[in-house]
Amino acid sequence: MGAPHNTRRYGKLWPEYRIQYGLEILEQLKHKVIISGGWAWHFMSENGHTEYKHAHDHKDIDIFVTRENVAEVVLLLHQEGFSKVWTRYDHLPSAENFRRYEKTVETETGRLLRITIDFFERDDLRTIEVNGFTVPEPQVLLFFYRNIHSSDKCWAVMAAKRLLDKNIDPIGHPELSKIPQ
């Protein structure tokens, strides 16, 4: 699981270009994938929230793809310049048939940005639609922090746990992107 956060860094924001490039590829994929991890919390948060680094993990994009959509999603990723990247997890047996795709883009400022997509194959997820994107139900998403996702110290994860424990629906709740007290 993730290490405790350095609370002195709680005001740090994700660069706008990282959010923009992530949204661009997700917009193209949204009818074929289930968006997980930090991007799922992003879509479940209230619209117009501040992109704090500790609220949602935007370092990579986690997606689940049903078997029937795998070929189409892989083709789209290749058409968009993504390449398969080998990881230390590729040889491990997995029910999710994990693979990683990456591409590097140059931002408007000339900075190079690596966009990483962690791709999991799965047919049995309970999902919801939020803001036009399909994401796992919050309880399902929280379960993945035991074995697939690692940033369980993100504010959204901690807030969703607290809210669900109180039988409060976390979708659109301001605590998903609010600095903890």
Residues 21-76 pLDDT 10s: 999 999 999 999 999 999 999 999 999 999 998 888 889 999 999 999 999 999 99
**CATH code: domain of residue 73:** 3.10.450.620
State percent of the chain over pLDDT 70.
Answer: 92
Tell me whether residue 131 is in a domain.
yes
The pLDDT value given to residue 150: 57
Tell me whether residue 65 is in a domain.
yes
The pLDDT value given to residue 7: 66
The pLDDT value given to residue 122: 93
Tell me whether residue 4 is in a domain.
no
Query: Which class for 34: exposed (0-12), middle (13-18), buried (19 or more C-beta within 10 A)?
Result: buried
Tell me whether residue 5 is in a domain.
no
Tell me whether residue 2 is in a domain.
no
Domain with 124 in it = 10-177
Nearest Cα to 171, choosing from 126, 135, 121? Answer: 135
Both tokens of 73, joined, read 């999603």
The pLDDT value given to residue 89: 78
Can you list the pairs that 77-80 forms with residues at least 24 positions away whose Cβ atoms lie under 8 Å? Answer: 77/101, 77/117, 80/25, 80/28
Can you list the pairs that 164-171 forms with residues at least 24 positions away whose Cβ atoms lie under 8 Å? Answer: 164/138, 164/139, 169/138, 170/44, 170/138, 171/44, 171/128, 171/130, 171/138
Tell me whether residue 35 is in a domain.
yes
Which pLDDT tens digit goes with each residue over 70-94?
999 999 999 999 999 998 877 777 7
Tell me whether residue 118 is in a domain.
yes
Looking at the 3D structure of the chain, how many domains does it have?
Answer: 1
Nearest Cα to 118, choosing from 52, 54, 29, 178? Answer: 29
Q: What is the mean pLDDT of the chain?
A: 89
Report the pLDDT averaged over residues 104-116: 93
The pLDDT value given to residue 1: 41
Tell me whether residue 99 is in a domain.
yes
